[in-house]
A and B are shown apart, each in its own frame.
Chain A
Amino acid sequence: MNYALFFGCVIPTREPSYEASLRAVFKELGVDLIDLDKATCCAPIPIESLDFKTSLAIAAYNLSLAEEANINIMTICNGCFQVLSKANKTLKENETLRTDINKILAEVGREYKGTVDVVDYLQVLHNDVTPERIKENISKSLNKLRVAAFYGCHVLRPSSVLNFDNPEHPHILDDLIELTEAKSVQYMHKTKCCGGLLRGISDDLASKLARNKLFNISNSKADCIVTVCPFCFLQLDVGQLDVRRRFNETYNLPVFHYPELLGLAMGIDPEKLGLKTHRISTESVLKKIE
């Protein structure tokens, strides 16, 4: 089992604990990850908002790198997953655009052929590695924990493009959390947006959306939040400081990237997982699972 790892640009620059924990967990599970050395940013929604063709061409360039290596792309960021999946579908289906984009790619010595798929790492864990195999690797029960699963938007929607799970009532992340024997709690408006894309556009609205998520999650008496997307993580982790400033509300809810939670259940040292790089201390959770 091997995949071309596409980790985007936010994770390696700003959230190295996500990358470190993912690599550690996948190594234990025996999945080979091949790095795409010449990858660039995926050209996400802010770029697509300004010029879809540029975004499409950059996404196609990155897809062509995996095509050359002849392996499917595995993303670990919702933004990358959505942009690359959408570009792949558009280019496979629309011949005129494919011809157009390939004219551009020819100038940088590449060609998009449409021979690989884009998958998210949760799909790899859930469908390829399988829950049974993951369970065999779990050495520590997290059964005292109540966890709020936080999917984010772009792993789920648009479902016609992503085919990931039910777009409004998903279960894959809940299932993966419960493999650790933690309880995945229900909370109001679970699949609603964190507001991440509004940062820099309207920080006021971005904070309000993050605050509403934190409010609903804390009402569910969750001990922590588990995210998939690096933007949701920022909105909820460092975002809690902003929420405290603007709304005078303190939540102190630790936020984990999913591989960090799984890593803890697999007995990996928290130091190695990089939990100290989080802005909201994870100590309360570590104590609870001692």
Chain B
Amino acid sequence: MANTDIKIKETLRSSELEPNFAEEITKHPGGEKLYLCYQCGSCAGGCPVGKITNSYKPRQIIRMALLGIKNEVLSSDSIWLCASCYTCQERCPQEVEIADLMLAIRNIAAKEGHAPKAFVEQATSLIENGRIPKITGLTQRRRTSLGLPELSPAPADVVKKIAAITGFEQLMEKLKEEAKK
């Protein structure tokens, strides 16, 4: 990923803000406690990713979400840099579920056409095979040599059907189209 920093304007115009963004997040499981954040920064302080790059600042993303700076947040690569280690979630004094909240923001971003290629590829493989990694000849040879039975294909039809009902299959098609642009 190339452009990871969130672009922040020096002056915010209220006409450019989307006040409904925060509420949209709170409707997602994991996003409910967004409004409780009082910006103490404990999340950022213990964040292993924040420690090694300036491109990821969980407290800042939460602040921007609260202010309604929607497009910048959703189109940034930064929201995909959370490693989902849940350290912040254990430590937040306000019990904001920060790691889950990032997942909620990503869900909204994906609907708007933003998602990293790696995740879309994994999802596509899951829909097609019922598993993310593929079974290869090497897999089967190594299994046999360790006395394990050959691995049978997973019931991909089940996953495919679920993905069709939830709109996931269509969402992945849309994201693949967006990536081509």
Contacts and interface: CB of A to CB of B under 8 A. Distances in A.
Interface residues of A, number: 61
Task: Please classify how large the interface on chain B is, using the bins under 10, 10 to 19, 20 to 34, 35 or more.
Answer: 35 or more
Contacts of B158: 38, 40, 61, 108
Nearest to A206: B83
B133 A13 contact: yes
A47 B123 contact: yes
B42 to A, nearest CB: 13
A39 B107 contact: no
Contacts of A156: 86
Interface in A3-23: 9-10, 12-14, 16-17, 19-20, 23
A200 interface: yes
B89 interface: yes
B83 A39 contact: no
B139 A53 contact: no
Interface stretch (B9-17, B60-68, B146-154): B146-154
Contacts of B4: 202
Contact of B122 (A46, A54, A193): A46
B126 A47 contact: yes
A270 to B, nearest CB: 12
Contact of B115 (A10, A50, A196): A50
Interface string A40-62: 11011111111111100110010
B89 A158 contact: yes
Interface string B124-136: 0010001111111
Nearest to B90: A167
B155 to A, nearest CB: 5
B148 A52 contact: no
Contacts of A45: 84, 103
B106 to A, nearest CB: 4
A168 interface: yes
Most B CB within 10 A of own CB, among A46, A47, A49, A107 = A49
Given A43-B126, A205-B49, 19 more contacts: A9-B132, A12-B151, A40-B158, A41-B154, A45-B84, A46-B119, A47-B123, A49-B80, A50-B115, A52-B107, A156-B86, A158-B86, A158-B100, A168-B87, A193-B49, A200-B122, A201-B81, A202-B1, A209-B49
Interface of A: 9-10, 12-14, 16-17, 19-20, 23, 37-41, 43-54, 57-58, 61, 90, 94, 97, 104, 107-108, 153-154, 156-159, 167-168, 192-193, 195-202, 205, 208-209, 212, 272, 274, 277
Interface of B: 1, 4, 28-30, 48-49, 52-53, 80-81, 83-87, 89-90, 97, 99-100, 103-104, 106-107, 110, 115-123, 126, 130-136, 139, 142-143, 146-148, 151-152, 154-156, 158-159, 161-163, 165-168, 171-172, 175
